[in-house]
Structure 1
Amino acid sequence: MNLLQDNFPTFMQGFGYTLLSSIIALVGSMILGTVFAIMQILPQNWVRTIGNVYVQVFRNIPLLIITFFFFLVVANYVKISGFTSGTIALTLYTSAFIAETVRAGILSIDGGQMEGARANGLSFWQAMRHIILPQAFRVALPSLGNQFINLVKNSSVLAFVGGLDLMYQGNMIAANTFDTFLTYIIVAVFYLVITLPLSYYVKHLEIKLKHAA
């Protein structure tokens, strides 16, 4: 394992950037995804249209193209790094899938609960925050967990724009050592260090919420 020992700081740097990008994109995509999920069910046609267009656009454009758009086009007007370009693209791309997942969770809740909350004096947003969304997230948790895991794996797109992530560092090490097989095995293990605990935690949380229901 001389390869790992000799390049451990480089692997760890890439691991750190991958973890940072994943956390930022996870938080950002959850916020954006929830907002656009709600927009798609509001009674105002123009709001629903904006929500639907956003989701359809970012769901149906490859993540790599979105990344290149920020790295090559937006960078002409605003100074933006490869890491930032990739993280923004990852956030927008994932948020579209989360929006659909959360929207499905909201629609699965009996409409009478919203009506009852409004009848008891809660505003739409209060009812959504305190009654509807907690139940919707519980219903959508398995699908959300899959999206979070996909997000971590999709963070490898940063390698295409010099994002200093785990895949980028792996590519550099493989090019310098010519040991591609072992390099990418190590890279895969580092990804598993993030995704396996995440997968376990989501399943644990799902069981816990099911028993609490």
Structure 2
Amino acid sequence: MAIRYPNGKKYIPTTTNSVAKPTSLTFSNRGKTLEDELNESNEYYTSRGIAVIHKKPVPIQIVNVRYPARSAAVITEAYFKTASTTDYNGVWHGNYVDFEAKETKNKTSFPLQNIHDHQVEHMSQVHKQGGIAFLIIRFSLLDRYFVVPFKNFIKKWTRMIDGGRKSITLEEIEEMSVEIQPGYHPRLDYLQAITGMVEQSTDERTERQES
């Protein structure tokens, strides 16, 4: 099945990622979360000098610590200092990349209740500054992965705010996203999937500078 960007461009995976063994690939990744798969993919990118992208640390305020031994410490009470923004950020070919990763067991739609207002606001600010903002959504029971550009996602979010449906159907996601075909090295080559978004963002920046 041909995969196309939301702007109509076809997504052609790199040669190294096109070699697939569906049975063993699925078996070898059983039990892994989307976070596990993204962390492994990011390690691959970093080790080969392709990009530097990491999961953002969550700021925590430690309240109580117990010391069962002189060389060991156990945190017994802590809380989040501030609300987190998105899950991952970094740099790729001079472009700032910022995205949220979500999983759902729903087979027919993605519930928007999984996203928070402050996360949408953060991605909106990144997008306005010319950064590459998007979501990676995994339909875990279908073993399907989608890269959703923020500018497409915000339309469905606004629809909900205006009183519309509180989810995005799978059919809508197929139309507005780039589907990632899992591979080996890396497991999720999402950077190849956002190439079209980077080109479009560059064109938009050039147009703003020339106007």
Please identify the structure whose Cα radius of gyration is greater. 1
- Greater strand percent: which structure? 2
TM-score normalized with structure 1 length: 0.29
**TM-score w.r.t. length of structure 2:** 0.30
